[in-house]
Structure 1
Amino acid sequence: MNQHLSLVSLVVADYDEAIAFFTGALDFELCEDTPLGGGKRWVVVRPPGGAGSGLLLARADGPAQVARIGDQTGGRVFLFLETDDFDRDHARMIAAGVRFVEEPRHEAYGVVAVFEDLCGNCWDLIQRKSTHGCETSP
């Protein structure tokens, strides 16, 4: 069997604001932006290189979804952006105005720092020591 996660839905307040953040501050690629009618769009962004999962930017629809913007996981780190060069990407992201909530730290699994996206969701920027198999960080 061959399966993979292709997209993770991220609830945002505004499509264009989210596209600007992900393509500007995080250097993601805009892979698709298709109108669906009624103001809805199918918007997909991916980290540079095109490998792995992407994000489906989903504009909040209704009070329950609006309440989840920026807090999809109750304050825990939600997404993990893995890099092959932590120092390069950390410096570029800081220069682009990304807010890191901690200094980089060295862990048994690699170097990592938590940052917030435009909505306040927590992410790890991580360069792992090993990228084999199903290894994950805590």
Structure 2
Amino acid sequence: MMITKLKHVSVFVLNQDSACDFYVNKLGFKIHTDAPMGPGQRWLTVSPPEQPYLEIVLMSIKEGMMFKKEAAMQMREMVKNGTFGFGVFECNDLLATYEELKAKGVVFIKEPTKEFYAFEALFKDDSGNWFSLTQKESS
């Protein structure tokens, strides 16, 4: 038997409501699941429009099931400082997407640049996680 796909991946966020607003209203993702998950917890997932089967879990960093108090504080600081989260998103037209996202208030830490590995820009989400945005290569 072989693994056939990745279905869920977590992005740790400082505030789920704010993160949901960022991923849905700025990046254009769709809410896949938003359900209570125990006291004070919420299972909140979003999906890129062309990958509805991939659920990005916007995971709140709170003391409780996953984190002890000190670990939650450390993790929150790591995310705030941009030292923890990272991912690569792809788009069809980097320059147009860059301008559209910038107009929506997305903070870029690197403008579109042709690198040896890709045409990319770097941005941060509202929690501090940073992402590479690359242009899909033509086949």
Normalised to the residue count of structure 2, the TM-score between the two structures is 0.81
Identity %: 31
The residue matched to 2:110 in structure 1 has which SS? Answer: coil
Structure with bigger helix share is 2
Contact 2:82 2:130 in 1 (8 A): no
Residue aligning to 1:3: 4
Q: CA deviation digits over 1:40-79, x for unaligned, max 9?
A: 1111011122356331011112231342237359737711
The residue matched to 2:97 in structure 1 has which SS? Answer: helix
Normalised to the residue count of structure 1, the TM-score between the two structures is 0.82
Alignment of 1:38-117 (within 5 A): 38-51=39-52, 53-62=54-63, 63=69, 64-69=71-76, 71=78, 75=83, 78-117=86-125
**Structure 2, gaps ≥5 residues long:** 64-68
- CA shift for structure 1 position 32: 0.6
The residue matched to 1:24 in structure 2 has which SS? Answer: helix
Cα distance in 1 between the residues matched to 2:75 and 2:138: 33
The residue identity in structure 1 corresponding to 2:94 is: F
Contact 2:29 2:47 in 1 (8 A): yes
Aligned Cα root-mean-square deviation (Å): 2.4
The residue identity in structure 2 corresponding to 1:111 is: F
Residue aligning to 2:66: none
